[in-house]
Amino acid sequence: MVLAELGGSISRAIQQMSNATIIDEKALNECLNEITRALLQSDVQFKLVRDMQTNIKKIVNLDDLAAGHNKRRIIQQAIFNELCKMLDPGKPSFIPKKGKTSVVMFVGLQGSGKTTTCTKYAYYHQKKGWKPALVCADTFRAGAFDQLKQNATKAKIPFYGSYMESDPVKIAEEGVERFKKENCDLIIVDTSGRHKQEAALFEEMRQVAEATKPDLVIFVMDSSIGQAAFDQAQAFKQSVAVGAVIVTKMDGHAKGGGALSAVAATKSPVIFIGTGEHMDEFEVFDVKPFVSRLLGMGDLSGFMDKIQEVVPMDQQPELLQMLSEGTFTLRIMYEQFQNLLKMGPIGQVIFVFSMLPGFSSELMPKGREKESQAKIKRYMTMMDSMTNEELDSTNPKLMNESRMMRIARGSGRPLRDVMEMLDEYKRLAKVWSKMKGLKIPKKGEMSALSRNMNA
């Protein structure tokens, strides 16, 4: 079951329970059984699922909950907490700092996505102003250097490797030395993989580690192996000081949930997940926002980060101010659409709204970006036929039928399109209103704030 489906199944189970006239033992059990089924289908280990179920039942004691308690909320919160606990990966052993040289060595089996992930990791940091560099010490797989070179060139990241030299230790040493001299702050060493865990692989890893003295060793693994990730993560941990894990191919693989929970069970901190073949299909893994999103509860911290990333600097304070006031006018929607369309290839951009809690991806479903773009342009054409009063109004009753007809005529669109656009507006306004009271961060406080919001 791919992650989106897993999240959907769990949310539906909670929703169904909420729809029950009385939330009693039976309704709760049905909900938990549904969730259990979904998790097992994602290849989550049976024991983890069983523990989760037992814990929820212990926390949610229906008899003790006096009338008036919002049982649905309490149960949802318990499910959220237990999923977080199940996926909690702990903290990495080392966190590189911008401007200070760090050597990061990547290890993993062949085909796990190691080389791709090295570039994604470099690119992610480069976008944030770091000076990364890539060293290809994979002399085992033919074509590994070419692949790294191609990726690095595309991303304009300096790289080092050799077609002639067959000693990975020598290449790694030389590469690291060179980039230290060039003052790179993130020197990434890609090492060889093998088809399976074997002595030769572990020995080579140890030698490269000894020569380059990495500050952090990142183990890359493919999520499609599901709960078998437990044994693989353990084996690598025992052979080299794995400080962090990146789980790849979380897009479209049925066993992603199983892999993530299995890695967490080995107490190996997952720091990123790979969600596609492209360079920017790479996400920071942070358990609470991840579970929030999985359950369709939105992702506030991601939202704040995204605002920083996609909204022009000079517009950020204004946008936050409007959010904190909770008022959402058609003009704000228009301006946000403008931002969205300006941001270039739409498939690469996550609309700021989509990060808000409760926002469904209806407006911009993944894979249907072209249609979404056309829809947004259509909405904007209709809004062009609105008066200032209509655009700035906060009165939902203002948009009566005669105004809607006028807008339809003015924009040459059928009335039902105008109604659809206004429905979309209402939906977004509802989501927006949840941000009311948002504390506006001072300069440089964004990340701290986003962390607090998810705490």
DSSP per residue over 12-37, as a string?
A: HHHHHHHHSSS--HHHHHHHHHHHHH
Binding status of residue 113 toward ligand GDP by CB under 6 A: yes
* Residue 295 beta carbon to ligand GDP: minimum distance, rounded to whole angstroms: 22
β-pair type (282-284, 270-274): antiparallel
**Given 96, 108, 243, 296, the residue binding ligand GDP (CB under 6 A):** 108
Q: Choose the stretch contacting ligand GDP; rule: CB under 6 A; options: 154-162, 173-181, 273-281, 330-338.
A: 273-281
Burial class (CB in 10 A: 0-12, 13-18, 19+), 165: middle
Task: State yes or no: residue 2 binds ligand GDP (CB under 6 A).
Answer: no
Query: How far is the CA of 401 from the CAs of 79, 262, 427, 430, in angstroms?
Result: 44, 56, 19, 22
- Smallest gap, in angstroms, from Cβ of residue 379 to ligand GDP? 32
- Name residue 135's beta-bridge partners: 160, 189
249 is a contact residue toward ligand GDP (CB under 6 A): yes
Range 273-288 burial, b when 16+ CB lie within 10 A, else e: bbbbeebebbbebbbb
Residue 248 sits in the site that holds ligand GDP (CB under 6 A): yes
Q: Does 71 bind ligand GDP (CB under 6 A)?
A: no
Residue 274 binds ligand GDP (CB under 6 A): yes
* Cα–Cα dist 250/2, whole Å: 8
Residue 106 C-beta: closest distance to ligand GDP, Å:
9
User: Is 115 an interacting residue with respect to ligand GDP (CB under 6 A)?
Assistant: yes
- Neighbouring C-beta atoms of residue 38, cutoff 10 Å: 22
> Could you tell me the smallest distance in angstroms from the CB atom of residue 285 to ligand GDP?
12
**What is each CA distance from 435 to 246, 324, 362, 442, in whole angstroms?**
32, 6, 20, 17
Treating both helix axes as pointing N-terminal to C-terminal, what angle do 71-87 and 46-59 enclose, rounded to 10 degrees? Answer: 150
Asked if 276 interacts with ligand GDP (CB under 6 A), we say: yes
107 versus 322: smaller Cβ distance to ligand GDP? 107
410 lines the binding site for ligand GDP (CB under 6 A): no
Smallest gap from residue 252 Cβ to ligand GDP (A): 6
Nearer to ligand GDP, 76 or 239 (CB): 239
Q: Mapping DSSP to helix (H, G, I), strand (E, B) and coil, where does residue 323 land?
A: helix
Q: Which CB atom, from 62 or from 279, has the smaller least distance to ligand GDP?
A: 279
Closest approach of Cβ 113 to ligand GDP, in Å? 3
Tell whether residue 251 is a contact of ligand GDP (CB under 6 A).
Answer: yes
Minimum Å distance from CB 220 to ligand GDP? 6
Residues in contact with ligand GDP, counted by CB under 6 A, come to a total of 17
273 three-state secondary structure: strand
Beta partners for 219?
A: 107, 245
Site string for ligand GDP, 146-165 (x = CB under 6 A): -x------------------
What is the rounded distance in angstroms from the CA atom of residue 218 to the CA atom of residue 306?
26
Using CB under 6 A as the criterion, which residues of the chain lie in contact with ligand GDP when the complex forms?
108, 110-116, 147, 193, 248-249, 251, 274-277
